[in-house]
Amino acid sequence: MPYSTYVLYSRIIKKFYVGYTGNLPKRMEQYNMGQAGFTSVGAPWKVIWFKEFNSKLEAINLEQKLKNLTRRRKVKFMLKYQKYLYNEAALNILNGMS
């Protein structure tokens, strides 16, 4: 079962959220229905960056690394690893921040 480390963005509150999951579509549904803590405010949340792993531990390790970065460093990281951007709209969001 693949695990994903992901970065979400809310245009409403202008914030990133970093997490990991074994089922990204289901998790997104929970976020956007207000069923998950921090993200209950700010919907709709959009996936802007994600990377899949075969190991839960790898996904957790990257999640922790990203959570410890400042907003500016998160943007730089995602731009550096653009091949994991969700779509072109995600690139436009990040380019507007850099």
Q: What are the CA-CA distances from residue 18 to residues 33, 49, 75 (Å)? A: 18, 10, 12
pLDDT at 60: 98
Q: Given CA atoms 46, 57, 38, 80 in this order, what sign does their dihedral have?
A: negative
- Cis peptide before 2, with omega less than 30 degrees from 0? no
CATH no. for 3-90 = 3.40.1440.10
pLDDT at 98: 63
List, for residues 26-82, the tens digit of each pLDDT value.
988 888 887 767 777 888 999 999 999 999 999 999 999 999 999 999 999 999 999
- Bridge partners of 50? 6
List, for residues 82-96, the tens digit of each pLDDT value.
999 999 889 988 988
Token representation of residue 10 = 């809310």
pLDDT at 37: 76
**How far apart are alpha carbons 57 and 35 in whole angstroms?**
25
